[in-house]
Structure 1
Amino acid sequence: MKNLWIESDAEAMVAAYAAKGVDRDLALRVYTTRLLGGDPRLVLHGGGNTSVKLTATDLVGDTWDVLCVKGSGWDMAVIEPAGLPAVKLAPLLKARSLERLSDEDMVALQRANLIDPGSPNPSVETLLHAFLPHKFVDHTHSTAVLAIVDQGEDSEALIAKVFGPKMGYVPYIKPGFDLAKAAAEIYDRDPSVEGLILDKHGIFTFAETAKEAYGLMIHWVTVAEDYVTANRKPAAPRAPLPASLAEPAAIAPMLRGAVAARYPEGRIERMVSDFRTSPAILDFLARADLDRLAARGVSTPDLSIRIKTGPVVLPSPDAADLAGYRIAAGKAIADYVQDYERYFTENDARDDVRRTMLDPMPRLSLVPGLGMFGHGRTLKDARIASDVGEMWIEAVSGAEAIGDFRPLAKSDLFELEYWSLEQAKLAGNKPKPLTGQVALITGGAGAIGAATAKLFAANGAHVVVVDLDAAKAAETAKAAGNASIGVGGDVTSPDDVRAAFDQAVATYGGVDIVVSNAGAAWEGGIGEIDDALLRRSFELNFFAHQTVAQNAVRLFKEQKTGGTLLFNTSKQAVNPGPKFGAYGLPKAATLFLSRQYALEYGAIGVRSNAVNADRIRSGLLTDDMINSRSKARGLSEKDYMSGNLLGLEVTADHVAQAFLHHALAERTTGDVTTVDGGNIAAVLR
């Protein structure tokens, strides 16, 4: 592993932070924390932590010796000084004399002694950092070190062989007060050590300068890497693959549906999926003993928060038998769920603590021949699961190369996965109404489409904004947020529509909600209008809706989690206006199309509803068209736009609210919602 310390960069950071009143040592702590956090082989998504001992002044002007330690929620790769909250050191050191300290009391102690009460919670390993006397302390979950410590009963002997007397050995203890005391006692027995190796867990290094502590981490991780490289066994036997493998896109929707959690009252918790592949991933997944390794569990306990007890191994998909693959993959996931439920029941029965089982669905699916799928309620969580999967593969590969992968027993893992501190974090993370769902919106860069994309994303959905203008689609998706994407395409082109849905599958694994919104209007008397123009209007305002809905149903049937079709049909569908027949006729057909989908696909959980909106300022109803339509009705523009029972202009945001209502109305289908401020002539009857 390369030492990335660059003196000029370190001094530049010191200078930059000095201008903001930040202490030199704290600036260097930030610098080396970022170096560690930027390498996933060392630190991954919350794993690992660092600290520095300083003096600090509190809010009333008193000066204290403090421990600045990584705070909860901060990413080490981009940490700022605020991500290293200062905790008064003396009360932490005093706690070492206690016989026991519960996790909840430990957190309370740390929070009560924060210099700034508004700081994030200090790391759960704060006491370990405090009990070690060194100014700088670094902790990582190096995959190379895990390869050494994730061995059988002889792991202590192997650790001594690889690292020698300069590194202390700490048997596995759950992070917290007990681990902090044990680690400090081991250090006290031999203060000459340069660090500690924590069995089944990771590595600590420490020194009086940031540069030295970081350098020791890189040195000892390199020692572990070199040992693995020099002692590799022959490659493991390979498992055979089907002659013709299916593409990831062919199985992604069915897998996404298979890992959705279903509840007795009919509620479904969907997840999005992130597909990942590489030569290293494919090589590992080709092992004949993959099932055995996956069943062993995670390479370091904190990964249980990300991928539960470990990955599920799915069969390789034969392109010639996708129906058979659905059954086989479904069984593998059902078996995983059953094993997880047994794991919970057996371990939960060991004490009287009241726990609620987390959903038992896997968060990482391994598919030999293709790669792996990370699953999560958000795309961020799915990508984290994939990142963790890559590092799990690296650690397990290293462990198997030199011995036998034997990580922490699942009975011990349970204590961390169902740790009260982690449960508290989860309880505070309430999902939004559309969390886990993917919405595809056509005409997405227009006024109504953009308002709907923004509202859906704010309610938790990942949005695929589809528009003829690809640049505007991307801009709208960025404005909507929540990892939404923009896709360019012409909805009158079946190929473009298919490509948009394919992109949704490639990015998120599937689609749950479709807002078929794209449209345009042409004026002219119905008896005189050009036939080509009328057909053009039908292509966009009817047949495009049919093409979009067909693609949606294709995915809904693969996912088997139902789905929502929402059509923008316009009040013209039921209340035609003069010289607007070329628009109203296909819209009327689209209204009945929405009902036909409700009729034919309700049995598989598909809901189909329509929104009839009127007089919305947009790319369709431009200022010129407002002028033309108001004149056709003999009204001023103001009276035309607010010519309804409420006397109020209706906006794109109001239409978006109607679409959201239908997306959440789980027992409503075949409905038409009018959004026009009240037009008695357009009331359905």
Structure 2
Amino acid sequence: MSNKTIEELLGRSNRLGSNPKFTNYAGGNTSAKGAAQDPSTGKDVEVLYVKGSGGDLGTLKEAGLAGLYLDRMRALNDVYRGVEHEDEMVALFDYCTFGRGGAAPSIDTAMHGLVDAAHVDHLHPDSIIALATAADGPALTKECFGDEILWVDWRRPGFQLGLDIAKMAKENPAAKGVILGGHGLTTWAQTSAECEKRSIDAIEKAEKFLAAKGKKDPFGTLVKEWAPLAPDARKAKAALLAPALRGIASMDAPMLGGFSDTDVVLDFISHSELPRLAALGTSCPDHFLRTKISPMVLDTPADASVEDVIARAHELHEKYRQTYAAYYKKYAKPESPAMRGADPLIILVPGVGMFSYGKDKQTARVAGEFYINAINVMRGAESVSAYKPIAESEKFNIEYWDLEEAKLRRMPKPKPLAGRIAIVTGGGSGIGRATSLRLAAEGACVVVADRDLDAATAVAAEIGNSDKAIAVKVDVTDEDAIIATVHASSLAFGGVDLVVNNAGLSLSKSLVDTTVADWDLQHDVMARGSFLMSRESAKAMIAQKMGGDIVYISSKNSIFAGPNNIAYGATKADQAHQVRLLAAELGGHQIRVNGINPDGVVRGSGIFSSGWGANRAAVYGVEEEKLGEYYAQRSILKREVLPENIAAAVFVLCSSDLSLTTGLHIPVDSGVAAAFMR
């Protein structure tokens, strides 16, 4: 196939996939057919290139395309044994791969290959799915499109659906595409530009049709008790609810969370038809595979207390799990995969917003985006008819499809800290930066908290996008700022699992030169700051009921009596005893509390660069730039301690290998005999 054909296909795919009006994230697929030279014979053959399984149109690149010999793919019709044997057809695509094959072919490959047109688009636009899920969808499609876009009754994606659409296209040469009942849109054309135009024209025509014909209040009347709270009150309440709701969604497997209080969400959850429509669930396979068949809907008033909302959520959660288990039992066959979990992935709280969940933050965020797509679909369908999604049995057949199970099995093994949320204070430099980077590298989402927001932002950007890390400005001596940091973590990722109390400073002075202000400053930052962060994060961890880790970056000086160090050494001793006290107190909640005692971490250190290094160098009679070397030479191992060494110790303490360790202090000092734990 010519480079031009592939370039056109990728350009069309990226344009369509990057516009949420046209299709949802990782939803839909596009294809192109054309001549290419067979590397094994040197002769031209006709090849089908189609977006591979699991890819995203908006970011699709050539490596994400599956390539198949078109004649071989179409010849599969000769061995197709009927709808009862659909699943075996996907495996047969492997025998049709062109060259190295590229990405794995998706279940929709047959639809693209069997339709006799050079270019085919299959998309999931909200406006089209609104018609596809309307009770009188066929009539509405006819009214909106005439004979340009035809109707195909719901059928699970596969070879037979491809045959059905190919037959319709052949018998209706003037048709430009079809609406797939309960599912989406497929269009075709002989050029890439015309195919893209047909897709966009159909989507926009459906939008205008719904706007012109639709009634004003498709979600019913506003329920006064469910009216949205003011923006600040919503966010504050959501932050307090988030850890407990995350715990509910994580009973079967740890989940990360997202939160949305967009106008679309608030409109849906504040109207009288919410219970009925939410119970009907989503329809498009891309929707319910990411949101479960239906959300958990709270029926509490918007002004209900946080405690009352959480208590009701636990009651409804038990009912939700029972209902989901009954759904599985009703439709499962002996050969069906085991039930994957009965917890909700979408929780709707009137007056507040929508909480969404997934195995990682991106999945949680996308689940929320898909449910917003579903809300748009319900609005459109209800405005012109009645929302009627595909049958529950069909949803089960998709959710527990062998092909979906195989896709899950192909996923890479998660990293050790996947699904965990970390807050690192003083995360903008030195030990904090190294720890933030290490925890993120091991799979955690990280809140980089620092009084220097620019530094924190740089570290968060180094880690990745907001699905991986966020930056928060915090003065750890400020109680309100600490509370706000934990709330930011809860709104961004769902809660908090791991806290690293690293923020610190030091002033090297003799006893007689140490002022009350010197003493108070160091105790406020390290003793008070660690106490506040531990207290507020523990509240969230206890609400989650998922356990957790609190790690104190203490110091060799917590047990070693060094010169000119009264305020710093005393506050580090305070931190060290906080570890013991909190380990004893929080163990019943499966929260482990441990400490690390570094020594002489000079490189990249904000403390050493702010004057402490010069003071300590003067005390020991060495040049400041040689202070790290001095510390190394006085140690047993004669090796300099680096920020990365401390970060490694944090990771080890929080890993599953030390799951039964709490109340421990680990020295990371290259060996200082005077600081051995006794």
The answer, yes or no, to whether TM exceeds 0.5 is yes
Distance in structure 1 (CA, Å) of the matches to 2:271 and 2:403: 37
Does residue 385 (structure 1) correspond to residue 372 (structure 2)? The answer is: no
Which AA in structure 2 matches 1:134? A
Distance in structure 1 (CA, Å) of the matches to 2:4 and 2:80: 37
TM-score, length of structure 2 as denominator length: 0.91
Structure 2 counterpart of 1:25? 5
Alpha-carbon offset, residue 143 of structure 1? 1.5
202 and 363 in structure 1: CA distance in 2 versus 1, 3 angstrom threshold: same
Does residue 119 (structure 1) correspond to residue 112 (structure 2)? The answer is: no
Matched-pair contact (CA < 8 Å) for 2:508–2:616: no
Alpha-carbon offset, residue 88 of structure 1? 1.1
Matched-pair contact (CA < 8 Å) for 1:169–1:199: yes
SS in 1 for 2:607: coil
Does residue 328 (structure 1) correspond to residue 315 (structure 2)? The answer is: no
Structure 2 counterpart of 1:8? none
Which AA in structure 1 matches 2:399? E
Alpha-carbon offset, residue 366 of structure 1? 1.9
Alpha-carbon offset, residue 537 of structure 1? 1.7
Does residue 619 (structure 1) correspond to residue 606 (structure 2)? The answer is: yes
* Between 320-329 and 222-231, the greater mean CA deviation after superposition: 222-231
Among 610, 632, 643, the alignment partner of 1:641 is: 632
* Between 487-496 and 472-481, the greater mean CA deviation after superposition: 487-496
Among 16, 31, 50, the alignment partner of 1:69 is: 50
Matched-pair contact (CA < 8 Å) for 2:285–2:395: yes
Residues 460-484 of structure 1 deviation map (CA, whole Å, 9 limit, x = unaligned)? 1111111121101100111123621
Does residue 667 (structure 1) correspond to residue 660 (structure 2)? The answer is: yes
Among 287, 291, 294, the alignment partner of 1:303 is: 287
Distance in structure 1 (CA, Å) of the matches to 2:383 and 2:302: 30
Among 249, 258, 276, the alignment partner of 2:245 is: 258
Distance in structure 2 (CA, Å) of the matches to 1:230 and 1:626: 72
Distance in structure 2 (CA, Å) of the matches to 1:36 and 1:562: 43
268 and 412 in structure 1: CA distance in 2 versus 1, 3 angstrom threshold: closer
Does residue 537 (structure 1) correspond to residue 522 (structure 2)? The answer is: yes
354 and 197 in structure 1: CA distance in 2 versus 1, 3 angstrom threshold: closer
Structure 1 counterpart of 2:149? 167
Residues 391-440 of structure 1 deviation map (CA, whole Å, 9 limit, x = unaligned)? 11110011111121111112111111112222122223332222222111
Does residue 550 (structure 1) correspond to residue 535 (structure 2)? The answer is: yes
Alpha-carbon offset, residue 306 of structure 1? 0.9
Matched-pair contact (CA < 8 Å) for 2:240–2:487: no
Alpha-carbon offset, residue 28 of structure 1? 2.5
Matched-pair contact (CA < 8 Å) for 1:253–1:509: no
Alpha-carbon offset, residue 546 of structure 1? 1.3
Structure 2 counterpart of 1:402? 384
Matched-pair contact (CA < 8 Å) for 2:128–2:184: yes
Matched-pair contact (CA < 8 Å) for 2:26–2:56: yes
Distance in structure 2 (CA, Å) of the matches to 1:590 and 1:44: 49
Distance in structure 1 (CA, Å) of the matches to 2:228 and 2:393: 40
Matched-pair contact (CA < 8 Å) for 2:31–2:120: yes
Among 334, 348, 369, the alignment partner of 1:352 is: 334
Alpha-carbon offset, residue 166 of structure 1? 3.2
Structure 2 counterpart of 1:566? 551
Structure 2 counterpart of 1:483? 468
Distance in structure 2 (CA, Å) of the matches to 1:624 and 1:542: 21
Distance in structure 1 (CA, Å) of the matches to 2:533 and 2:676: 27
SS in 1 for 2:290: helix
Alpha-carbon offset, residue 199 of structure 1? 1.1
504 and 447 in structure 1: CA distance in 2 versus 1, 3 angstrom threshold: same
* Between 41-50 and 660-669, the greater mean CA deviation after superposition: 660-669
Does residue 681 (structure 1) correspond to residue 674 (structure 2)? The answer is: yes
381 and 317 in structure 1: CA distance in 2 versus 1, 3 angstrom threshold: farther
Alpha-carbon offset, residue 569 of structure 1? 0.9
Alpha-carbon offset, residue 234 of structure 1? 5.2
Distance in structure 2 (CA, Å) of the matches to 1:164 and 1:39: 26
Does residue 657 (structure 1) correspond to residue 637 (structure 2)? The answer is: no
SS in 1 for 2:102: coil
Structure 2 counterpart of 1:453? 436
Does residue 464 (structure 1) correspond to residue 447 (structure 2)? The answer is: yes
Distance in structure 1 (CA, Å) of the matches to 2:521 and 2:200: 66
Matched-pair contact (CA < 8 Å) for 1:572–1:588: yes
Alpha-carbon offset, residue 129 of structure 1? 0.8
504 and 317 in structure 1: CA distance in 2 versus 1, 3 angstrom threshold: farther
625 and 162 in structure 1: CA distance in 2 versus 1, 3 angstrom threshold: closer
Alpha-carbon offset, residue 652 of structure 1? 1.3
Distance in structure 2 (CA, Å) of the matches to 1:440 and 1:504: 8
Matched-pair contact (CA < 8 Å) for 1:70–1:122: yes
346 and 648 in structure 1: CA distance in 2 versus 1, 3 angstrom threshold: same
Distance in structure 2 (CA, Å) of the matches to 1:72 and 1:466: 38
Matched-pair contact (CA < 8 Å) for 1:257–1:270: no
Among 154, 173, 176, the alignment partner of 1:194 is: 176
Alpha-carbon offset, residue 624 of structure 1? 7.3
Structure 1 counterpart of 2:66? 85
Residues 309-332 of structure 1 deviation map (CA, whole Å, 9 limit, x = unaligned)? 122212345445221111112222
Structure 2 counterpart of 1:220? 202
Percent identical among aligned pairs is 32
Distance in structure 1 (CA, Å) of the matches to 2:539 and 2:63: 49
Structure 1 counterpart of 2:16? 36
Alpha-carbon offset, residue 288 of structure 1? 1.1
624 and 642 in structure 1: CA distance in 2 versus 1, 3 angstrom threshold: farther
Does residue 340 (structure 1) correspond to residue 341 (structure 2)? The answer is: no
Distance in structure 2 (CA, Å) of the matches to 1:321 and 1:244: 14
The number of aligned residues is: 659
Distance in structure 1 (CA, Å) of the matches to 2:300 and 2:610: 57
